[in-house]
Amino acid sequence: MHQSTYTNQLDSFNDEALLEQFRQGSAAAFEELYKRFWGVLYLQAYRILIHEEDAQDIVQEVFTTLWTKGGSIELSGSLAAYLYVATRNRVLNMLASKRTYHHHLSSLKQSLSAADNNSLQYITEKEITVRMEREIRALPAKMREVFELSRKSALTHKEIAHQLQLSQETVKKQISNAIRTLRHKMAHFSFFC
């Protein structure tokens, strides 16, 4: 079969069929998987890390592992679920090594461990993003402002308190309330930020 014809046919393969092709030695199948998943996995990592290079490194590590261990990886669900969980776990490991995120890590781990990983195959990145942004917009104004400064700007409680002229205790309470509210609203999603 001509190489370009084969490459074009890969577009129509489902994820598991592509993985099987890759396991049989097809680098083109791996490239197709990379094209399919790189963007959503990058967004997943970036949404928490808020750092482009770290998010890129995480996704690169996930695909490097897939490349080197693809033949021995046993999937209990879909390939998408496996890649999401692998990305999530690497993000958690990176967060654990960054002191500025330690106060968020416990809450994040609890939310993630309660999630049903099997449901990942039914969720698209767009659905997660749209739902999360809607729930963040629905937070009370001051709570939303504090939460977004904490998560998107990665400011400390002290920096947020100074910027908004609030006490650090108020900032801490607002973030805690926002996390609790969002966790409740997003409970049926398997990846929460």
Residue 15 within any structural domain of the chain: yes
Other residues' Cβ atoms within 10 Å of the Cβ of residue 120: 21
70, part of any domain:
yes
Which pLDDT does position 104 carry in this prediction? Answer: 52
pLDDT 10s digits, 107-136: 555 555 555 454 554 455 556 667 777 778
Examine the pLDDT at 26 and tell me if it is beyond 70: yes
Non-local (6+) Cβ contacts of 16 within 8 A are 75, 78, 79
How high is the pLDDT of residue 143? 87
Task: Specify whether 37 is located in the same domain as 73.
Answer: yes
Q: Looking up tokens 């926002």, which residue turns up?
A: 178
> What is the Cα–Cα distance from 86 to 92, expressed in whole angstroms?
10
55: tokens are: 């998010």
How much is the pLDDT for 193?
39
State whether 148 and 85 are in the same domain. Answer: no
On whether both 55 and 90 belong to a single domain, the answer is: yes
User: What pLDDT, on the 0 to 100 scale, is given for residue 101?
Assistant: 43
Q: Is residue 156 part of a domain?
A: yes
Separation between Cα atoms, residue 25 and residue 14, nearest integer Å: 17
Question: Count H helices, E strands: the chain?
Answer: 10, 0
Domains identified in the chain, total number: 2
Structural domain containing residue 66: 1-97
Cα distance between residue 177 and residue 183, in whole Å: 10
Same domain, 87 and 4: yes
Model pTM score = 0.51
- What pLDDT is attached to residue 83? 92
Residue 103 in any domain: the answer is no
Selected residue with higher pLDDT from 180 and 146: 146
Whether residue 106 lies inside any domain: the answer is no
Q: How far apart are CA 157 and CA 167, in angstroms?
A: 9
Residues 82, 190: Cα–Cα separation, whole Å = 12
Same domain assignment for residues 80 and 131? no
Residues 87 and 141 in one domain: no
Per-residue pLDDT tens for 55-98?
A: 899 999 999 999 988 778 787 788 888 899 999 989 888 776 66
Q: Are residues 140 and 86 in the same domain?
A: no
The whole-angstrom distance between residue 76's C-alpha and the CA centroid of its chain comes to 19
Claim to verify: residue 64 and residue 10 sit in the same structural domain: yes
Show the 3-state SS of 112-135. Answer: HHCCCHHHHHHCCHHHHHHHHHHH
